[in-house]
Amino acid sequence: MDIQNNLFSAIRTLKDAMALVGGCSKPKKMPGLSYGLPTDMCNTGMKLKVIPNTVCYGCYADKGHYKQYEVAIKKAQYRRLESISNPRWIEAMIYILNHQKSIVDTGVFRWHDSGDIQSVEHLDKIVQIAIATPHVKHWLPTKESNWIQKYANPIPKNLVIRLSGTFVDGKAPTTYPNTSTVVTNEDDATCRAFENDGECGECRQCWDFSVKNVSYHKH
């Protein structure tokens, strides 16, 4: 059976669901899975990548582990990007969030360890998935303030969208309630993953609505 083209059979296995969405990414830092897209398809990020001192300049998703396995990772990222237009993408993502062990065990999911939302329609699909999986806390970091502002429907409480600041050591955005910033001084970083071998550990502030801004140490 071609799971990509068959629109009538129910998704019955995690393998089929993963095949339909192009698989998930597993960043070392995260307690569970993520869904990475190619950084060269970022609408705002691609413009900022060439501007020194922006948070996208020298993007972490273009170096380190991402660079070491660049060919395989890029291939997977583009496969995921293409899958978003599949009519069954939402269904498959819901299945994964309901059945993948690391997500079930941790109760958290990060959207886009690399890349960003592609459109208002893409954001709406993520919102639909979050509504259908209320037991999962979703975190969506983004630079796409324009599409967030244009989105008219309510954001479910289990989806924390964090609008990223533009400049390293710059101010947090004021146009959205939950934000993130990047700082060069370790003492100013509220994310302390760098003290834990680069991993989140038990910290879940990125997924917490009550935490208005999370500041990350530049890496």
Tens of pLDDT, residues 173-194? 999 999 999 999 999 999 999 9
Residue 120's contacts (CB-CB under 8 Å, 6 or more residues apart) are: 147, 150, 151
**Residue 1 DSSP class:** -
92's tokens: 């498959």
Q: Does 139 score more than 60 pLDDT?
A: yes
Nearest to 191 by CA among 173, 161, 213, 171: 213
pLDDT > 90 fraction of the chain, expressed in percent and rounded? 82
- Give residue 5's pLDDT band: very low, low, confident or very high (50, 70, 90): very low
Least confident of 84-93, 179-188, 194-203: 194-203
| Distance in angstroms (rounded) separating the CA atoms of residues 119 and 125 | 10
Average pLDDT over residues 44-56: 93
List the Cα angle 72/73/76 in 5-degree steps. Answer: 90
Indicate if the pLDDT at residue 147 is higher than 80.
yes
Q: Is the pLDDT of residue 29 over 70?
A: yes
Q: Which residues contact 65 (CB under 8 A, 6 or more apart)?
A: 28
Of the candidates 141, 93, 109, the residue with the CA atom closest to the CA atom of residue 31: 109
Dihedral sign, CA of 80, 42, 61, 185?
negative
Give residue 71's Cα distance to chain centre: 20
Average pLDDT over residues 54-72: 67
Is residue 139 within 8 Å of 108, Cβ to Cβ? yes
pLDDT (mean) for 104-122: 96
Please answer whether residues 128 and 155 qualify as being in contact, where contact means their C-beta atoms are separated by less than 8 angstroms. no
DSSP of 104-130: HHH-EEEE-SSS---SHHHHHHHHHHH
Q: What mean pLDDT is reported for the chain?
A: 91
Please give the Cα distance from 194 to 166 (Å, whole number). 21
